Each structure stands twice: as structure tokens, then as C-alpha cells.
Amino acid sequence: MKGLRGSVVLALAGMALCSQLQHAAAGELTIMATGGAWQAALRQAWFEPFAKKAGITFNEQEYTGELGKIKAMVETGDVPIDLVTVETSTVLQGCDTGVLVQLDYGKIADRSRFLPGTALDCGVGIDVYGDVVAYDTTVLKQAPTSVLDIFDTQKYPGKRALRKAPAQNLEWALMADGVPIDKVYDVLATPEGVDRAFKKLDTIKKDVVWWDAGAQPAQLLASKEVVMTTAWNGRIQSAIDHDNKPFALVWDNQIVEYDMVAIPKGAKNVDLAYQYLAYVAQPEISAQLGRYIPYGPVTTDATPFVPKDVLAKLPTSPDHMQKYLVANVEFWGDHGEDLVKRFNAWLAQ
């Protein structure tokens, strides 16, 4: 009876959503996302189907993920977007500073359906991705076996690329320096731990090419500017599957993260934004993204709807979860601003 009741509830919720969409006034919804293959996948999986169902125009903008751009819109009172994709740490910072709207989950979905850490006050998860290392198999004849091999310039000489941000890099630096995975954030929360992480980054700083947009890692590998790069798993998999690039992913010591979506304060089409969030939260709809880019769903009831040939490519595949770190969003919410300042000062040295 419990399972039947749950099915009936989901069915009624779906019917209610369809009714809302059918009666939605013709209009426009604008989202700002981080571009590349990921945004193209969002478009195919969700933007275009929702626009067709709701009878609206779905507009897109791109940015590099920085909170400052959203904050500037809100502070000037000129908010031309209704939704914005954000990282979990950005959600916490945006919530604390009043830049993002406190979400009403009664208009989206039951929070209990979401994986832990993906239904936050000011942002709701849309996918699970992995921060990994990628390389060109025609360039590196000896395959790296861990993300931490990016710190081994003796065994793997040449330029390597890292994202131009402290998050992930500081965690990996400590892991490469011998800190156990379950102690990383405890150590990084101390001044000595921060110093230790930057000291480890010092060992490869002269060999690093910095990237700040998700499409760049694949481009850097393709141009052979670097021998390996950190990357979001889906961007590299897309280059392998759709562009026939001879790239490979290294999963050991990956950092598991969640992409999220939020409503900026001052958005003009909030009701329509909520309808979109409710649409994406439906299990069969949530699972569609994996058809276009191998990121997993954040709702616990969506996995059965993921195509079987996609499951093996997901960061949450059992084969890829032998040794991993889940990004600590609370840590970055508390320490992110200070560590970004420290990181930028370090870059300038």
C-alpha cells in the first residue's frame, strides 16, 4: 500500500504540474548557465521540452559561475534572468548575502526525495558530477591512475591544467600531501592546513595552465597545450562520445559535487521559474539529462529511469566510487570567501 500510495501521489503531482503548464500565460523564462556541452545537454533534456510544454520562449545566457555577476544584477535592481545555475558553495554564499531567493519546496517537490545536500534553502540540485583528471591517450603512453598524479611532474612531465579556483585544488593538494580523505576538511579548516595545501600547489605552480570555463579542459587537451587536466567528467565524456577525441578519464580520488539551480532575488518570472523547477524534479524528467551528458540525477527515485548504457559513465557508478571525496558545501560556505582571497593573492605572487 505504501508503494501504491507513493505512485498515486507522484501521479497527482504530475497531473497538477501539467495543468499548471497548460494554463501558464505565454511568456519568457531566462536562465544563465555555464555554457559548453553541459548547457547544450540542459537545453536538449529540459529547456526545449519545458518550453514546448509550457508554450513559452526559453532564453539562455552564459557566465563563468561567479557569484559577483549575480550580486551585481541584484544590487542594481536590474535582474534580466529568472534562473541561474550555481555550485553548492555559491548557493550558500548567495543565500547568506540575500542574493538568492529562499525556495518554497511546496512548489517544487518533497525535499525527502533529494540526495543529502541537494535540496538547500536557496538552491535545488539538478545533477551529480565528478571532478576528475583527463588526458589524451595519444600523448601520455603511461596512464595516470589517480587524480593526484597531476602533482607528479617527474612521472608525468609537461604542462597540466587546473581550474582557476581554490575549491578542489586545495583538497587534492592535501590528499597528495598524505592527508587521509576523511580528514581533508578538518586539516583545511586550520591555518596550518591552508598553508600546507598552498605549499603543495607551489610544487606545480610553474607547470599549470589555469582554466575557468567548463569547455576549456577538452580544448586544452585537443590542442596538446597540456598533458593532463582536471575537468568535470561530463565535458570530457562528451568530447569522447561526440567528437571522437582519444581522451580518457581518471576516477580514483575524484571529488563528487552537485550542480544546482537558483532564483536570483528580483527575478521577474518567479512563478514560471517554480514551474520549471517542479518539472525538472519529476523522476522521469530528472533522469533525461544523462542521455545527453553523463551526470547522475539528484532525486532518489530517478535512477530507474536512467538509460542502462549511461549508468556505467556516471560518477556514481560503483566502479568510480572506490576512492572519492564528497565536496563539503558547508565548509566552502563558511571559508570560501577567505580562501578565494588567499588563492587570488597566491596566483598574483
Tell me the C-alpha distance between 311 and 260, whole Å.
21
pLDDT for residue 164 is more than 90: yes
Is 61 in contact with 85 (CB distance < 8 Å)? no
Give the pLDDT confidence score for residue 118 in this predicted structure: 93
Do the domains 2-128+258-311 and 130-257+318-339 sit in the same CATH topology, yes or no? yes
Mean pLDDT value of segment 310-335: 88
Tell me the C-alpha distance between 332 and 194, whole Å.
13
User: From the centroid of its chain, how far is CA 272?
Assistant: 23
Q: pLDDT tens digits, residue range 212-251?
A: 988 999 999 999 999 999 999 999 998 999 899 999 999 9
Is 279 in contact with 46 (CB distance < 8 Å)? yes
Architecture of domain 2-128+258-311: 3-Layer(aba) Sandwich (3.40)
User: Dihedral angle at the C-alpha atoms of 49, 53, 59, 62, nearest 10 degrees?
Assistant: -30
Q: pLDDT tens digits, residue range 302-318?
A: 988 988 888 889 998 87
Q: pLDDT tens digits, residue range 177-202?
A: 999 999 999 999 999 999 999 999 99
In this structure, what are the phi and psi dihedrals at residue 68, rounded to the nearest 5 degrees? -55, -35
Q: pLDDT tens digits, residue range 63-121?
A: 999 999 999 999 999 999 999 999 888 998 899 999 999 999 999 999 999 988 899 99
What's the Rg (C-alpha) of the chain?
A: 20
Share of the chain above pLDDT 90, in %: 78
Q: Does domain 130-257+318-339 have CATH number 3.40.190.10?
A: yes
DSSP output for 129-141:
EEEEEEEETTT-S
User: Hey, what's the cell of 306?
Assistant: 536512467
Parse the chain into domains and list their residue ranges.
Answer: 2-128+258-311, 130-257+318-339
CB neighbours of residue 164 within 10 Å: 17
Beta bridge partner(s), residue 161:
209, 229
pLDDT band, very low/low/confident/very high, at 37 (cuts 50, 70, 90)? confident
In order of 78, 173, 194, 232, 325, the CA distances from 197 in angstroms are 39, 5, 5, 22, 16
